[in-house]
Amino acid sequence: MILRRWNIDRTQRMTGGATAAGRRQPGRHLSTLLVLLLVAAVHLGAWWAWNRPMLMPDFRGQVAGFAFAPYQRGQSAEGDNQPSAADIERDLRRVAPMTAHIRTYATSQGLDRIPAIAEEADLGLAITMGSWLDKRLDRNVAELRRLVEVARAHRNVERVLVGNEAVLRGDLSVPQLVGYIRQVKRQVHQPVSTAEPWHVWVDHPELGEAVDFITIHLLPYWEGLPVDEALRFSLEKYDQVHRMFPNKPILIGEIGWPSDGVAQGAARASRVNQAMFLRKFFRIAEERHLDYFVMEAFDQPWKVSFEGRAAGYWGMLDLDRQPKWPLVGSVEETPGWADWALGGSFAAFLASFFFLVRRPDIRLAGKLVMAGLAQISVTGVVAVMLAMSETYLSVAAAAVWCVLILGQLLLLALLLSDSFELAETIWGRVSKRQWAALPASDTASLPKVSIHLPICNEPPEMVRETLDALAALDYADFEVLVVDNNTTDPAIWEPVAEHCARLGPKFRFFHLGRWKGFKAGALNFALRETAPDAAVIGVLDSDYLVRPDWLRRMVPFFRNPAIGFTQSPQDYRDGREGWFKRIMFWEYAGFFRAGMVTRNERNAIIQHGTMTLIRRTALEGAGGWAEWCICEDSELGLKLMRQGWEAAYVPDSMGRGVMPDDFAAYRKQRHRWAFGAVQIVKGHWRALLNPFDRSLTQGQRFHFVMGWMPWFGDALGLLFVIGGLFWSLGLVLLPLCNPLAYEGLHAALQAKLGLGEVFWSGLRGVLQAVGLSNEFPILLFMLPSLGLFLFKLAQIWMLYAARVSCGTGDRLAAALGGLALTHTIGKAVWQGFFKRRAHFARTPKMENAPALVQAFSTAREELILLALLWSAAAGVTVVHRAGTWEALLWTVILIVQSVPYMAAVSMAAVAAMPARQRSGVPGAVPATSTAGSMVARLGGD
């Protein structure tokens, strides 16, 4: 019967992995296509709804004026690469058909050539000539001298501006600025003013008395107003200033709205909002004969480094001098959205079809879940790529975006593989490689088995129990080799040697003393000492009590010559010894009851170094156990599969061991597994990552790569936590150094702490120099990690509900146990990349639990990071007052990032609780149980 089942499976695998049931029912492929087309249609509809054309008032007149900065791609007012005369003329010719007026901001760095170039080109442009004033007094003198010279020399200079927002920035006092204004007024014939936001004129009426006209900036985006209220607000402030200075002309020096950037309160930067605000304003300005300059003609991304992302997107024309939206007709947020949407639908279709075509037996609900999740995740990647295409990036910024997109692709791969596992586990109809392991008859001819039991500093009473269970095996021909290595205390190993002698000639004991290779070295020694007639090698941990029928049920699989090794799950008998062990029990159970069963469908199980049986010729052909790898068992299983051997996994419990006694031991065990996984990937990377390497099947490569991928995700998560903390530091501290955005808080701290402006400016410079940001990351980078976290929780919940017979409380506890190891796994992966070897750390068992203080000490790194993440979340909430979706979402992400650390601290506390020994520890799973009928062994929830 077993041989027949294996022959069927091999035939299916050679024909591409499609099940016989799937081939008999081609309609299942049709249902897959219909599901994928339905999801694609919904996806395209969502893109259309988001980008549907927006109707708004038309404007058919001419724009009154533009703020003009001629910096091209790669140029900056702060660098050495300045616009040439040809650049300036080309830009002047570009705006001349749209307006008759422009304003400039400085006379340095070649901008003083603008009036002359405009005159020579005969463009009919009137120029409001600006000058840039700051704290550098010598530079201010030169700037104003050149301003006067240009104003005197060119008739097309119609007005003069002395400084731009110098009072707002705190660079000049009002008396200083008034002195500069009076100085210039004495030397030019044009009207003279300065440019400041509306509230500076309201707060300093003496400034208004010094100028010939009032130049106000009305930028409601920075006030945090929604676009629907922005125009009303702007006109109210215009009228307020006009009432204060009724006898002076009012010039709106800047008015506009950015097409991209981080939200400011209720203000959303978008192409549609920019068009809506300006087109409405143009009509009202025409009716009221307002004098204004639009902020601004062309996008200027060089401003982003010190004013934030929105600063680069105020232009009516983009950096390539193309209009972002028309002055008449409807406006779309993303004019080329259809191509991106179709590309996203096609990519998600292919990704989903690649998985679902291999399992046509998955029910309709599973196909919808798989296709829907694939479409959502692919859309996230497409949206990031679209945002990147519309963002002005330096080489360094582009590199950062590419890294982030690679991270998004990793999240996509994780979600696709996990959603496929979820779909086939819960909604799959056909199982190809699951069967009950029936005991061989008493008359069956069975090969000799050599059971190897490596021990190192193990409690002798525990090892004696294990040996007694082996002595009770219902199997005729077997031997047990106990190999003690690296135990120096005779009081530990001598009782075990004496017990082996009492059990008879089947039990042989070897004491190796100091021995290289740790467990793998001991097992290789045992292999050399194995009886010549033994055909099967068994490996057992020193704490396992096996069922009497273990060998009688598992050895018959080797009648199939394709079988290289068999495996039954790790199971535990101390799950009732307190909450800590109960949590661990169910956390372990998820892998062996769900993950291993799914992997077995494609002959891709993970071999673990207990409860395993190996064909001797296969083991010797593989060169024995790898002493270079700290997870020699998993490495051997992969190596055997690369050599073409099959594996048989039976999810029935054949033996039970004991779990780690405290959180430190629990972490140490998972650290070893994760570090070993990286060693294995490094040692077998060609077989795992090279699709042209044929030593593994596609299914095996998929399970090994994607099965370990979450651990690599934990390593990336550790980097994101550290990066998030530094980013939060910028979000909290940089605004405090910026009186433009946080005047009240800045002034209060300055008065209370007695720290002057020099201190705050210096602090801001230092923070910016080390790369801290005062803006939130874009939503597209924040949402995927949050979505994957929520999906993983849902996946664990659903898989446990389907495969692990435990209650609601135990499901939550299992999730807690897994999350508590996130930091440990992340560290182990990074160490595995940079270290070649790790010391083999034996997992302590049957030791007393530590005190509470000692428990928290074991989780001190997690406790520190937990405190930092919560402090960062509180700081961001206080400083930004949850004023935008970005602020709220960033706070949520910090809290989510803290969950694994909170879980680790909680587990440490639970581990320190006194264990309550409960009677009636459940026995092994009955022999009639199968993968689908696991019994609840702990009772209740």
**Rama region for 513: left / alpha / beta (φ>0; ψ in -120 to 50; rest):** left
Cα of first residue to Cα of last residue in the chain, in angstroms, is 38
Q: Which of 215, 33, 19 lies closest to 128 in space, CA to CA?
A: 215
Residue 264 in tokens: 């400011």
262 contacts 308 by C-beta, under 8 angstroms: yes
User: For residue 850, how many other CB atoms are within 10 A of its CB?
Assistant: 19
Give the pLDDT confidence score for residue 915 in this predicted structure. 64
Return the sign of the alpha-carbon dihedral for residues 723, 727, 732, 738. Answer: positive
Cα separations in angstroms, 582 against 141, 802, 803, 871: 77, 20, 18, 32
DSSP 54: B
Give the pLDDT confidence score for residue 410 in this predicted structure. 85
Residue 923 in tokens: 């026995």
Across the strands, what pairs with 448? Answer: 534
Task: Check pLDDT > 60 for residue 791.
Answer: yes
Give the pLDDT confidence score for residue 871 in this predicted structure. 95
Residue indicated by tokens 């590199």: 399
- The string of DSSP letters for 583-612 reads HHHHHHHHIIIIIHHHHHTTT-PPP-SSSE
Separation CA 931–CA 934 (nearest Å): 6
Across the strands, what pairs with 481? Answer: 452, 508
Residue 388 in tokens: 């990147």
User: For residue 924, how many other CB atoms are within 10 A of its CB?
Assistant: 20
- pLDDT cut 70: percent of the chain above it: 88
Q: Report phi then psi at 752, rounded to 5.
A: -75, -40
What is the identity of the amino acid at 374?
A
The answer for residues whose C-beta is within 8 angstroms of residue 935's C-beta and 6 or more apart is 805, 925, 926, 929
Read off the pLDDT of residues 845-854 as tens digits, 9 standing for 90 and up: 444 444 567 7
Residue indicated by tokens 């097309």: 156
Residue indicated by tokens 């002005």: 392
Where is pLDDT greater, at 834 or 431? 834
The answer for residues whose C-beta is within 8 angstroms of residue 663's C-beta and 6 or more apart is 580, 820, 855, 858, 859, 904, 907, 908, 911
Q: Buried b vs exposed e over 557-569: b needs ≥16 C-beta within 10 Å?
A: bbebebbbbbbbb
612 contacts 566 by C-beta, under 8 angstroms: yes
What average pLDDT does the segment 453-459 reach? 94
Task: Check pLDDT > 90 for residue 739.
Answer: no
Give the pLDDT confidence score for residue 936 in this predicted structure. 31
Give the pLDDT confidence score for residue 723 in this predicted structure. 86
The CA dihedral of 133, 139, 142, 146, to the nearest 10 degrees, is: -40
What is the identity of the amino acid at 641?
M
Q: Which of 698, 763, 708, 714 lies closest to 736 in space, CA to CA?
A: 763
Length of the chain: 941
Which domains can be identified in the chain, with CATH numbers? 22-50+335-364+372-407 (no CATH), 66-76+83-312 (3.20.20.80), 448-570+608-659 (3.90.550.10)
Residue 802 in tokens: 């389907």
Task: Check pLDDT > 80 for residue 435.
Answer: no
Read off the pLDDT of residues 490-527 as tens digits, 9 standing for 90 and up: 999 999 999 999 999 999 999 998 888 889 999 999 99
- Band the pLDDT of 920: cuts 50, 70, 90: very low
Read off the pLDDT of residues 636-668 as tens digits, 9 standing for 90 and up: 999 999 999 999 999 999 999 999 988 999 999
- Band the pLDDT of 436: cuts 50, 70, 90: confident
The answer for residues whose C-beta is within 8 angstroms of residue 422's C-beta and 6 or more apart is 366, 369, 370, 795, 798, 799
Cα separations in angstroms, 927 against 443, 536, 923: 19, 22, 11
Separation CA 219–CA 217 (nearest Å): 6
Separation CA 572–CA 924 (nearest Å): 9
Give the pLDDT confidence score for residue 754 in this predicted structure. 55
What average pLDDT does the segment 543-567 reach? 96
Task: Check pLDDT > 70 for residue 359.
Answer: yes
Separation CA 869–CA 689 (nearest Å): 36
Separation CA 887–CA 264 (nearest Å): 10
Separation CA 913–CA 817 (nearest Å): 16
Read off the pLDDT of residues 242-262 as tens digits, 9 standing for 90 and up: 999 999 999 999 999 999 988
The answer for residues whose C-beta is within 8 angstroms of residue 68's C-beta and 6 or more apart is 91, 92, 95, 102, 103, 104, 114, 296, 297
Give the pLDDT confidence score for residue 840 in this predicted structure. 47
Coil/strand/helix, residue 872: helix
- Band the pLDDT of 720: cuts 50, 70, 90: confident
Give the pLDDT confidence score for residue 750 in this predicted structure. 53
Read off the pLDDT of residues 157-205 as tens digits, 9 standing for 90 and up: 999 999 999 999 999 999 999 999 999 999 999 999 999 999 999 999 9
Separation CA 800–CA 798 (nearest Å): 5
522 contacts 515 by C-beta, under 8 angstroms: yes
Task: Check pLDDT > 50 for residue 465.
Answer: yes
Residue indicated by tokens 């002698």: 501
DSSP 70: -
Give the pLDDT confidence score for residue 138 in this predicted structure. 94
Residue 295 in tokens: 């902020």
Residue 511 in tokens: 């004491």
Read off the pLDDT of residues 21-48 as tens digits, 9 standing for 90 and up: 444 455 568 899 999 999 999 999 999 9
464 contacts 435 by C-beta, under 8 angstroms: no
Q: Buried b vs exposed e over 314-326: b needs ≥16 C-beta within 10 Å?
A: bbbbbbeeeebbe
Return the sign of the alpha-carbon dihedral for residues 408, 409, 414, 418. Answer: positive
Give the pLDDT confidence score for residue 838 in this predicted structure. 64
Residue 642 in tokens: 């690369």
Cα separations in angstroms, 56 against 59, 126, 279, 318, 705: 10, 30, 8, 21, 52
434 contacts 600 by C-beta, under 8 angstroms: yes
Residue 384 in tokens: 């990031």
- The string of DSSP letters for 429-482 reads ---SS----PPPPTT----EEEEEEEESS--HHHHHHHHHHHHT-S-SSEEEEE
Question: Is residue 671 within a helix (H) or strand (E), and if so which, with residue range?
Answer: helix 663-683
Average pLDDT, the chain: 87
Q: Which of 776, 645, 718 lies closest to 308 in space, CA to CA?
A: 776
Task: Check pLDDT > 80 for residue 428.
Answer: yes
Cα separations in angstroms, 743 against 168, 246, 480, 740, 750: 10, 29, 78, 6, 10
Question: Distance from CA of residue 653 to its chain's centroid?
Answer: 37
Quick one: 362 exposed, middle or buried, by C-beta within 10 A (0-12, 13-18, 19+)?
buried
Longest C-alpha distance within the chain, in Å? 119
Give the pLDDT confidence score for residue 475 in this predicted structure. 96
Task: Check pLDDT > 50 for residue 19.
Answer: no
Cα separations in angstroms, 881 against 689, 888, 891: 47, 9, 11
| HEC sequence for 768-828 | HHCCCCCCCCCHHHHHHHHHHHHHHHHHHHHHHHHHCCCCHHHHHHHHHHHHHCHHHHHHH
Give the pLDDT confidence score for residue 147 in this predicted structure. 97
- The answer to whether the bond into 333 is cis (omega within 30° of 0) is no
